[in-house]
Amino acid sequence: MLFAQYTTGKSLPQKPKTQTIHDVQTHIAPTINADSIYEASRTISFAGFRWKVRQSVVQSEPGNNFFSNALSEVSTTNDKKLRLAINSRDTYWHCAELVADTVLGYGTYAIFPEIKLDTLPPNVMIEFGLTPEKALHTYIPADIAVQFTRLGTLNSTNTLQYVVARPDNAEQRKERIFRPEEPFRMQGFYSTHAFTWRESSLEFASYHDHGLPTPYLAVLWEFLGSPALNLQVPKSSTPYRMRLRLWSAGAPVGNRAFELVVKTIRFIPLK
């Protein structure tokens, strides 16, 4: 397994702990209907992919937010990193969301953020994952995702969760959510988060530092399906695209602008 190669070796000052499958939360979430507005938006190039940047002129899901394709919210830096921001402008707060203009299929998807994820404002979420192709035209939650969120709780120390989901019918969708027992506490600004998507399994992993893998495995979870929910590993027969988004339900706590820098995103196809 790609993610199990470096579970031993020199540890960080706070030794990472590999988690197992037993700590899993399950809930049924309503589907979200919203105007999404990718078709007329601008595109950017980042990490070898072309991305469509969402623009909404009305408050939209998730979080009843405005999404902006302006340079102040979505841009690339001189050293080819991606910068996403939540900013206040014209009395409203504007968030950021991008969808890759590429369908990739089975393989390993990884993101390399530069941010202390354990200090997120309680109403800000970062999500990296795969979403059905039709999400280019209407907002649909991701079916496979790594998320960073305090779930609205100011004193929550756990900001990391993995999600596998599918729409069940027109009214609801089923989600299997894994949150590690030990909070993902960072020593600096670098971490790596990835999942390997195979026909019969999904393996999620999070590491301290940048690398795929690094010696500092912090969280590991494998999803093989949920008989109780009749939830299986999503199939690549449905076209899936990468999506990266920020959202905040209203102003970030403290009315302070929020910024995320991503060094790169990688995709390694299955051999």
Domain of residue 49, CATH code: 2.60.120.200
Global confidence as pTM: 0.88
Q: What is the number of domains present in the chain?
A: 1
Question: Range with the lowest mean pLDDT among 21-25, 128-132, 223-227, 267-271?
Answer: 21-25
90: left (phi over 0), alpha (psi -120 to 50) or beta: left
Q: Is 7:20 a contact under the CB 8 Å cutoff?
A: no
Residue 182, domain extent: 2-7+18-269
In a domain, 120, yes or no: yes
Query: 3-state class of 117 per DSSP?
Result: helix
Q: How far apart are CA 259 and CA 95, in angstroms?
A: 10
In a domain, 47, yes or no: yes
In a domain, 184, yes or no: yes
In a domain, 12, yes or no: no
Residues facing residue 145 across a β-bridge: 129, 163
Q: What is the pLDDT of residue 170?
A: 57
Tell which wins on pLDDT, 4 or 24: 24
Question: What are the two backbone dihedrals, phi and then psi, of residue 220, each rounded to the nearest 5 degrees?
Answer: -145, 130
In a domain, 13, yes or no: no
